[in-house]
Amino acid sequence: MSMTIENEIAAAPATREIKTAPSRFRNQIGAYKIFRSENCIGCGKCASLCPHGVHERFGDSGKMVRPRDYRCRGESCRSEEYFCINKCPVGALSLRRNPVYSTLGDHRWTADLILSTWDQAENGRITNETLESELGASGGGFDKLRFRFPAVPSGVDPSDVDTSLELNRRSDDPAAHKIKIDVPWYGGGMSFGSISDNMMVSRARAATAWNTFTCTGEGGYPELLRPYDDHIITQIATGLFGVREETIQRVKIAEFKYAQGAKPGLGGHLLGDKNTADVARMREAVQGTALFSPFPFHSVYSIEDHKKHVDWIKAMNPRALISAKVAAPSDVDMVAVGCYYAGVHIVHVDGSYGGTGAAPDIAKKNIALPIEYAITRVHNFLADEGVRDEITLIASGGLRSAHDIAKAIALGADGVVIGTSDMVAVECIRCGNCESGRGCARGIASTDRELKHLIDVDYATQRLINLYNSYREQLVGIISRLGLRSVAELRGRTDLLMHLDYSKPE
Amino acid sequence: MPGKYHIETKEVPPRFNAVGRFGIIDLYETCARGCRNCVKKKCIYDIHKKEFDFAHSLDRPTEFMNECMNCLMCVQNCTRGALTRTQNPEYTWLGNEYWKPAIIAGIWKMAATAKLPVSGAGYGGPFSGPGFDSMWTDMSEIVRPTRDGIHGREYISTSVDIGGLPSNLEFSPGGELLGEESPVIELPVPFILEVPPLGQISKNVLEAMARAARGMDTLFALDAEDAEEFAAEFAGWLAPRVKNSAIENHAALIKSVRMVCLEDSPDALDAVACVKAINPGAVVRIRLALGDGVEARVVELVEAGAEAIQLSADINGDIAYSDGRVEFIKDAFRRIHSLLVDKCVRDRATLIADGGIAMAEHLAKIIICGADCASLGIPFLVAMECRMCGACSRGVECPVNMSEVPPEDGAWRVMNLAAAWRNQLLEVLGAMGIREARRLRGEFGRAMFCEDLERDTFQKIFAGA
């Protein structure tokens, strides 16, 4: 039975088991369209030939099911014996590019990256290798970096690769939780209000299954998340929406959000339309009014003030790890070192191309550094200060694939935060209308009581679990091919990367 | 304390439907007809119903509505898969390689609603690019002088001054100020309006811009012959462009305005003196086309007392040099600004940027690169629905009939766009913790340039530089 939010708490915990989680839409989008004309005689030859499951015969009826053309590999099949278009005895099949494909995606999240993420979320691994799953088309940053894989196999057994990440590295805080997550990423903050409770619970379930974390964002801590307390990061942002002593005491990690990469220096803005009755109750606000999270914290002018913040949380929850989420200005390296001296365990740098539920376009494009530049700055500066191994550096803001995660770690991050990938896994198409009217028409970034039910918790949980599995498999593949045995060994290994513009050809 | 400056706005729908990026195509022969699950009825934006009503109205039978929000819900849920989404070819024809369709469509939206563009999801464009796309503005994480600039207590000023400031003041033993006071115009926004170098510039368009200049208390630069026509009503906000040989002919007009615009010429300073003889209180702007030898000429003019200099690139912000080089306007401004600073004469003249300013971010960035303000023409023409299709230059009928722009509505659309741009400028200033546009000028340290970042990051790592 499909799970609804109401019986979520009683449900059995999700596991890492990979189960096929097909699209929730009748017409899944693919790169190609297959048309079957009226000449089809229903012989089923195409169904017997196609190894990708595009064609299926409708029982013994002599009729064919509409082609599942999202699975079609298109032109790459042309030279194969099983190319259905050529083999159809009556020439009833035709192939062309799906016009929707050419309208999908953008420079950062290309159509291929979106479709590949859907493929991974459905199947738990990459099944359609004709889609570009490693790179976007932004023409810079991660998209210009490549790994230098050795020509001869490294001999490292992938099953020996350790992808865990220790989040508390401080030697001066032995009382704090020792937390090791099984994958070097956790979910970024998305507030109740910007996304639905169904989506929040799904992210929490997936994070629990993979022994990692997800973050509440700044809109409060819905009671529905209680079963997942040990895998939730509660966020304390400038609006202090829903921040309570009890919610801080129930978690292992608390995150101060000083700034967000997509709108650094601007604070947050939940439009009145999305401040529904449920959201308003959670945020202790008036329904329908726009809610601003000011910038900056009114209580913080300096690193010393920041330390007072850290002390405030430690007084309530002495064992909690403290994360400071900052954007990436030109002096982000000094901010990070300041965070260390203020006592935080995790410094989370959010680059300028990161996601958001709503931000002025001018801010998303123009303010602060893309994460690719920020990582090396912070990593090197922390190392020069002699504190690199005392703090966990988490990078976020525009990471789209397992390869981006690996590249961020090779540049110097310990781990990463992902957010948009989670959204795309549940079939976000990045139309950017999250903030308007009732919110996301696809039910992802919406608290509308009708729309939020477009996302089923079981479906979303499984898609996320599948995607995480695929990411981990790819990460293990990268690490083992490089001759390494752990994510920790990959950190800062820029010698294993090459840049298309600057590296000398080998 | 004076009241906060505010640009009045009013929602003005377009006369012609904006050209949309995508279209939903209905493969009607595939439709089951009479399907009870028709996805068109479930569109949360109600677009299909609106489109049906629109298509069946007698008013605009030849247009498309173009309001699809691109959620793909109908395409993906239709029982028969009868709907698909395609790129609208008409959209790709908008503008040129610099004035991209997204820029033009963005201007139209702002001109209609005055709202600054806000959207969800992260930035989807290229990592960086040529021109203004090769720089980012900085922000301040914690320590910042402005608190809650855009939403709260402290006022961020976008005012700029046009005119020269003396490097020092001299007083008589009795305390009397010696020398003449230079005229300075304080504009509440860092831009003036200017007749664009393309498009169908009808009388209505000119009147709309003059009205908008008055509405915002800025200036509108237009040919003196046209200015004569509007002087009675708008003189205080007009900046007539006068030919050196025709100064005397426009003496009455010159007397009534705050700024006069001249073209650079060997006798430009003599022409300035002629204007000053007629109206000593007017600021005189000299326009130079950026190109070979312009830096030396700017220094020469400023040292000789020129008080406002407009430096023009082409409409795409490019500057062509005789040796075949092409430079972008931001780089020329960085160089010229720095040169004037080195010569200790920067504050003696206002530098006005012209060319390639197509978005609010460009305005902020050109100021960071050393301009005091910008002269804007094309964005406001586009605000009045110009499609930059070039039909007028080919003698073909204008698809949006620019000659019939109602001046009042046109002015509102210009002011809507200006308000949206100003609000975006406030966002950038607020993020940087800078309280006034004047202080943004030449603040290279508050910007990050792609070439520097690449050199210090990836080049250092991967090329060992």
pLDDT tens-digit readout, A451-460: 988 999 999 9
DSSP string, B97-125: SSS-HHHHHHHHHHHHH-PPPEESS---S
All residues of chain B having their beta carbon less than 8 Å from the beta carbon of residue A358 are 118-120
Cα–Cα distance measured from residue A134 to residue B424, given in angstroms and rounded to the nearest whole number: 34
Along the 465 residues of chain B, how does pLDDT read in single tens digits? 567 899 999 999 999 888 989 888 887 778 888 888 899 999 999 988 888 888 787 766 566 777 888 999 999 999 988 999 998 999 999 999 999 999 999 999 999 999 999 999 999 999 999 999 999 999 876 555 444 444 555 788 999 999 988 878 889 999 998 877 789 999 999 999 999 999 999 999 999 999 999 999 999 999 999 999 999 999 999 999 999 999 999 999 999 999 999 999 999 999 999 999 999 999 999 999 999 999 999 999 999 999 999 999 999 999 999 999 999 999 999 999 999 999 999 999 999 999 999 999 999 999 999 999 999 999 999 999 999 998 999 999 999 999 999 999 999 999 999 999 999 999 899 888 888 999 999 999 999 999 999 999 999 999 975
Q: Taking CB atoms and an 8 Å limit, are B81 and A499 in contact across chains?
A: no
Q: Other C-beta atoms within 10 Å of B183: how many?
A: 19
Residue A92, token pair as written in the block: 């009833």
Q: Taking CB atoms and an 8 Å limit, are A107 and B126 in contact across chains?
A: yes
What are φ and ψ of residue A53, in 5° steps? 75, 25
What is the torsion angle, in degrees rounded to the nearest 10, for the CA atoms of residue B450, residue B452, residue B457 and residue B460? Answer: 130
CB proximity under 8 Å: A 300-359 to B = 300-303, 305-306, 326-327, 329-332, 335, 352-359
Chain B residue with the nearest C-alpha to that of A260: B141
Q: Give the residue carrying structure tokens 């064992």.
A: A319
- Return the SS3 of B218: coil
The Cα-based distances of A130 to A50, A75, A77, A440 in angstroms read 15, 10, 10, 30
Q: Does residue A204 register a pLDDT over 70?
A: yes
A298 to chain B, any CB pair closer than 8 A? The answer is yes
Cα–Cα distance measured from residue A214 to residue A354, given in angstroms and rounded to the nearest whole number: 16
pLDDT at position B61 is 56
Per DSSP bridges, beta strands B160-162 and B326-328 are: unpaired
pLDDT at position A7 is 47
Distance of CA B375 to the CA centre of its chain: 7
Residues of chain B with CATH 3.20.20.70: 160-167+181-454
All residues of chain A having their beta carbon less than 8 Å from the beta carbon of residue B87 are 99, 102-103
User: Using a CB cutoff of 8 Å and minimum separation of 24, what contacts does B89-93 make?
Assistant: B90/B19, B91/B19, B91/B20, B91/B21, B91/B22, B93/B389
Consecutive H or E run containing B197: none
Give the gap in angstroms from C-alpha B70 to the nearest C-alpha of chain A.
6
All residues of chain B having their beta carbon less than 8 Å from the beta carbon of residue A28 are 76
* Cβ–Cβ < 8 Å for A51, A94: no
All residues of chain A having their beta carbon less than 8 Å from the beta carbon of residue B107 are none
The Cα-based distances of A226 to A130, A170, A179, A221, A229 in angstroms read 42, 28, 19, 9, 5
What are φ and ψ of residue A168, in 5° steps? -105, 105
* Cβ–Cβ < 8 Å for B239, B231: no
Q: Give the residue carrying structure tokens 């002011």.
A: B415
Q: Give the residue carrying structure tokens 């303010």.
A: A367
Residues of chain B with CATH 3.30.70: 22-87
pLDDT at position B153 is 55
Cα–Cα distance measured from residue B321 to residue B313, given in angstroms and rounded to the nearest whole number: 11
Distance of CA A174 to the CA centre of its chain: 31
* Cβ–Cβ < 8 Å for B315, B198: yes
Closest to A29 measured CA to CA, from A127, A106, A76, A99: A99
* Cβ–Cβ < 8 Å for A487, A162: yes
Distance of CA B280 to the CA centre of its chain: 30
pLDDT at position B149 is 44
Chain A residue with the nearest C-alpha to that of B150: A266
Count of A–B CB contacts within 8 Å? 260
pLDDT at position A10 is 45
Chain A residue with the nearest C-alpha to that of B449: A369
Cα–Cα distance measured from residue A18 to residue A32, given in angstroms and rounded to the nearest whole number: 27
Consecutive H or E run containing A166: strand A165-166
Amino acid letter, B443: E
- CATH number (3.30.310.50, 3.20.20.70, 3.40.50.2000, 3.90.550.10) of B160-167+181-454 reads 3.20.20.70
All residues of chain B having their beta carbon less than 8 Å from the beta carbon of residue A422 are none
Q: Other C-beta atoms within 10 Å of B37: how many?
A: 11
The radius of gyration of chain A's CA atoms, rounded to the nearest angstrom, is: 24
* Chain B contact probe: residue of A135, A297, A361 with most B CBs at under 10 A: A361
* Cβ–Cβ < 8 Å for A110, A138: no
| Choice among A222-226, A277-281, B341-345 with the minimum mean pLDDT | A277-281
Q: Taking CB atoms and an 8 Å limit, are A431 and B70 in contact across chains?
A: yes
Residue A103, token pair as written in the block: 């309208």
Nearest to B141 among A100, A329, A397 (CB): A329
pLDDT at position A3 is 47
Greater confidence (A180 vs A58) lies with A180
CB proximity under 8 Å: A 27-56 to B = 27-29
Residue range A142-175, pLDDT digits in tens: 999 999 999 998 899 999 999 999 999 999 999 9
* Cβ–Cβ < 8 Å for A207, A231: yes
Amino acid letter, B51: E
All residues of chain B having their beta carbon less than 8 Å from the beta carbon of residue A361 are 106, 116-119, 123
Nearest to A27 among B81, B106, B126 (CB): B81
Q: Does residue A470 register a pLDDT over 70?
A: yes
pLDDT at position A2 is 46
All residues of chain B having their beta carbon less than 8 Å from the beta carbon of residue A423 are 121
User: Using a CB cutoff of 8 Å and minimum separation of 24, what contacts does A333-337 make?
Assistant: A333/A377, A333/A378, A333/A380, A333/A381, A333/A382, A334/A381, A335/B141, A335/B142, A336/A378, A336/A381, A336/A382, A336/A391, A336/A393, A337/A381, A337/A382, A337/A385, A337/A387
Give the gap in angstroms from C-alpha B287 to the nearest C-alpha of chain A.
30
Q: Taking CB atoms and an 8 Å limit, are A356 and B122 in contact across chains?
A: yes
Closest to A373 measured CA to CA, from A347, A397, A341: A397
* Chain A contact probe: residue of B25, B30, B74, B142 with most A CBs at under 10 A: B142
The Cα-based distances of B100 to A189, A252, B115, B274 in angstroms read 34, 48, 20, 42
What is the torsion angle, in degrees rounded to the nearest 10, for the CA atoms of residue B46, residue B48, residue B52 and residue B53? Answer: 10
Q: Other C-beta atoms within 10 Å of A48: how many?
A: 12
Give the gap in angstroms from C-alpha A491 to the nearest C-alpha of chain B.
15
B251 Cβ partners below 8 Å, 6+ apart?
B278
Nearest to A434 among B120, B125, B453 (CB): B120
| Choice among A234-238, A392-396, A484-488, B238-242 with the minimum mean pLDDT | A234-238
Q: Is the pTM of this model over 0.90?
A: yes
Residue range A410-425, pLDDT digits in tens: 999 999 999 999 999 9
- Architecture in CATH of B22-87: 2-Layer Sandwich (3.30)
Residue A395, token pair as written in the block: 């990078």
Q: Taking CB atoms and an 8 Å limit, are B431 and A331 in contact across chains?
A: no
Give me the domains of chain A, ranges plus CATH numbers: 32-97 (3.30.70.20), 158-499 (3.20.20.70)
CB proximity under 8 Å: A 408-427 to B = 420, 423
Per DSSP bridges, beta strands A253-257 and A232-236 are: parallel
Per DSSP bridges, beta strands A392-396 and A346-350 are: parallel
Chain B residue with the nearest C-alpha to that of A138: B126
Q: Taking CB atoms and an 8 Å limit, are B142 and A499 in contact across chains?
A: no
Residue B272, token pair as written in the block: 């300035």
The Cα-based distances of B119 to A362, A396, A452, B382 in angstroms read 10, 19, 19, 22
A156 to chain B, any CB pair closer than 8 A? The answer is no
Burial code of B51-90, b = ≥16 C-beta within 10 A, e = fewer?
beebeeeeeeeeebbbebbbbbbbbbbbeebbbbbeebeb
- The half-sphere exposure of A162 on its side-chain side, counting CA atoms within 13 A, is 10
Cα–Cα distance measured from residue B441 to residue B338, given in angstroms and rounded to the nearest whole number: 11
CB proximity under 8 Å: A 86-115 to B = 98-100, 102-103, 105-109
Cα–Cα distance measured from residue A194 to residue A291, given in angstroms and rounded to the nearest whole number: 12
B349 Cβ partners below 8 Å, 6+ apart?
B164, B301, B302, B306, B307, B308, B309, B340
Closest to A293 measured CA to CA, from A208, A372, A189: A189
Nearest to B85 among A99, A353, A363 (CB): A99
Per DSSP bridges, beta strands A253-257 and A268-270 are: unpaired
